[in-house]
C-alpha cells in the first residue's frame, strides 16, 4: 500500500464527499469520491506538493464528466421521444417538414446541406462561403431552432402538427 494514502483518505474523505454532494448530489457523490481515491491510489505521486488540491481537481473533473453523461442521457431520451412520435414514417417526415418550415431559411439550408446532402462541415463552408467553425456554430443553432420548432406534445396528430405550422 502507498505510504500515507490511508491517512490522506481518512483526513479528506468527508470534505471531498461534501464537495461532490454539492456538485452532483448525494446519490452520485459516493461514486465520485470512490473513483477519486481510486485514481489517487494509482496515479497520485507520493511526493505531490498539493495532494488535497489534486483530489479536489480530480473530483471536479469526474463531476464534469458525470454532468456531461447525464446531459447526453437526457438528450437521448428526448430524441427517442421525438423519433418515436408516431408509428408512421411518412407522418414523421411531414412533422419534420412542418417544423423546418417554421425555421429561418439559413437554418434550413445548413441542416439540409449537412444531413440531407451529407456534406461535411468543410464542404458546407465552401458552399456557404464561410469558415468551417462558422458552419459548426450554424449547425448548433439550427438544431436548437429545430428542437424549438418541433411540436411540444408527442401525442399531436399529423393533422395538428401540420396546421400548427
Answer for the pair 146, 111: CB distance below 8 angstroms, yes or no: yes
- pLDDT recorded at residue 153: 53
Choose one of 75, 103, 121: the last residue of a domain.
Answer: 75
- pLDDT recorded at residue 86: 53
pLDDT tens by residue, 71-81: 888 877 776 66
Answer for the pair 16, 33: CB distance below 8 angstroms, yes or no: yes
- pLDDT recorded at residue 46: 83
Distances in Å between the Cα of 162 and the Cα atoms of 26, 58, 89, 143, 149 are 45, 50, 15, 20, 12
Q: What is the mean pLDDT of the chain?
A: 83
pLDDT tens by residue, 100-117: 888 888 888 898 888 888
**Is residue 20 located within the same domain as residue 50?**
yes
Number of domains within the chain: 2
Q: Which domain holds residue 132?
A: 88-163
CATH of the domain at 126: 1.10.10.10
Amino acid at each position: 500500500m502507498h505510504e500515507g494514502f490511508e491517512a490522506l483518505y481518512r483526513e479528506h474523505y468527508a470534505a471531498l464527499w461534501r464537495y461532490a454532494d454539492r456538485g452532483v448530489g448525494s446519490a452520485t457523490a459516493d461514486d465520485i469520491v470512490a473513483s477519486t481515491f481510486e485514481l489517487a491510489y494509482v496515479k497520485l505521486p507520493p511526493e505531490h506538493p498539493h495532494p488535497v488540491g489534486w483530489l479536489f481537481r480530480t473530483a471536479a473533473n469526474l463531476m464534469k464528466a458525470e454532468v456531461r453523461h447525464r446531459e447526453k442521457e437526457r438528450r437521448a431520451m428526448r430524441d427517442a421521444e421525438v423519433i418515436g412520435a408516431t408509428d408512421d414514417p411518412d407522418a414523421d417526415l411531414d412533422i419534420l417538414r412542418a417544423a423546418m418550415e417554421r425555421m429561418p431559411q439559413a437554418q434550413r439550408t445548413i441542416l439540409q446541406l449537412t444531413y440531407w446532402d451529407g456534406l461535411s462541415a468543410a464542404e458546407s463552408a465552401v458552399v456557404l462561403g464561410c469558415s468551417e467553425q462558422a458552419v459548426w456554430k450554424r449547425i448548433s443553432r439550427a438544431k436548437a431552432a429545430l428542437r424549438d420548432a418541433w411540436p411540444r406534445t408527442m401525442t399531436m396528430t399529423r393533422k395538428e402538427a401540420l396546421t400548427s405550422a
